[in-house]
Structure 1
Amino acid sequence: MSRKTATIAAIAGLAFATTMFPGGQNAAALAQAASEQLTAPAPVEAPELVPEQIEFVAQEVVQPLPAPAPAPTPATPVQTEAGSLHELVGMIDTSSPMSQEMRCLAGAVYFEARGEALAGQLAVAQVIINRTEDGRFPRSYCGVVAQPGQFSFMRGRRMPAIREGSAAWERAVAVAHIADKGLWESEAGRAVFFHARYVKPGWSRSKTRLAQIDTHIFYR
């Protein structure tokens, strides 16, 4: 109802009350009520809520993707595609400086097996490596080589002088690198003991024989 319509209705009501009840408290009460209705503010109508129109995009929305991270450059693989151990030995760079540990490993190969075939030299190096992984022996190449009573070429804890310019030393260095990096599987496998085949030490009877390579027999 609008304010104008309410005013008219109030006036009509007041006139009717005055006519029907010309005197007394009832007429006064009715007159007061009509007056209050005339002066009361008109009710405020709630605004009409119109839903916001949804807009549809006619074209496909394409969200740009972040640029892919560059793929890591693969490390240069170690050249191991040799047809033989002899060929692989020829691929090894023996001119770079050696650590003390590698010198101990190559020195053991040189003194123990420099006159043998490469398979025999690799087997000796493999035994030294295997010992460093066995709790019964020292954890380093130099520790294994210098362990008392293990290698007859040692002078106490000192290694004899090496002819480092010789072909035998170059081969021993190459074999040591091959064994250290695991580039060629040795026939010695997991052996941790060996001796020359022309001797028969008492301890050999309690070990498991794994292989005989050139002049050495290898045990686990």
Structure 2
Amino acid sequence: MSRKVKGASFLSLVATLGVILLGTDGSSAFADSDVAVPVEVSVQEDARVESAVDTQVEDAAESGEAAPAFISQPVVQPLPATPDAAPTSASSLRELVAASPVPDTLDEQMRCLAGAIYFESKGEPLAGQLAVGRVIIARGQSSRFPSSYCGVVYQRSQFSFVRGGRMPAINTGSRAWQRAKKLAVIARDNAWESPAEGALFFHANYVSPRWKNKLTRLAQIDNHIFYR
């Protein structure tokens, strides 16, 4: 079949669809006005359009032409990256902390988590600070403790730095606080495994609480001993 005939078939399809949408008497609101207005296509008209398209497909099949192809291109929208998420890979915890961004802001729960790391372990090595953060998180996930970071931190008689149900003032300009915020994100994202993973309790090595004899010792990291 020649290109001229193929072109005529295509023009015929366009003309057919145009007549159906505008109506045979040309009396639609769109036809009577130069102003574009919304056009409502009735169920009957929609069926007529579908029938016309089907007819063109059948005619093309009988004549050996390729049937009209209606291709829908998928729209892929990438998800935005979480701005404060910990990096996905590092060769050491020190490298991970160095590569992690300092969170611009912390919500209430993350501030409680970072505060506990800061006050309980800012003088400890990074592994010890991470372990303290993971204890807070593990408690929040256990039915034995409050279900939020702040609930865990402010639970009565649990953390000695909490006085009168309040956290002391934090030196927010210190390197220790910036590091504690990074470690809070790393602990939350479980981006680095703690050597005391699963611990729910810890104490300084210069004290010997009676409750430790009822628990399973997991690890000692510098001055803190961790238990489950």
Q: After the TM superposition, which residues 29-108 of structure 1 pair with which residues of structure 2 at under 5 Å, given as runs?
A: 57=62, 59=64, 61-76=66-81, 78=85, 79-108=87-116
Aligned 8 A contact 1:148 1:156 in 2: no
Distance 2:76 2:185 in 1: 31
User: Which residue pairs with 1:128 in the alignment?
Assistant: 136
Any idea what SS the aligned residue of 1:211 has? strand
Per-residue deviation at 1:58?
Answer: 5.2
Determine whether 1:198 maps to 2:206: yes
Number of equivalent positions: 166
Distance 1:152 1:83 in 2: 34
Percent identity, aligned pairs only?
52
The TM-score normalised by the length of structure 1 is 0.69
Runs of 4+ in structure 1 over 6 Å off:
none
Question: In terms of Rg, which structure is larger?
Answer: 1
Aligned 8 A contact 2:103 2:181 in 1: no
Aligned 8 A contact 2:196 2:226 in 1: yes
Unaligned runs of 5+ in 2: 1-58
Determine whether 1:175 maps to 2:180: no
Q: Deviations over 1:105-162 (max 9, x none)?
A: 1111111110011000000000000000111111111111111111111112111111
Distance 2:167 2:73 in 1: 56
Unaligned runs of 5+ in 1: 1-54
Determine whether 1:218 maps to 2:226: yes
Distance 2:67 2:75 in 1: 23
Aligned 8 A contact 2:135 2:201 in 1: yes
The TM-score normalised by the length of structure 2 is 0.67
Output the amino acid matched with 2:145: F
Any idea what SS the aligned residue of 2:112 has? helix
Q: CA RMSD in A?
A: 1.9
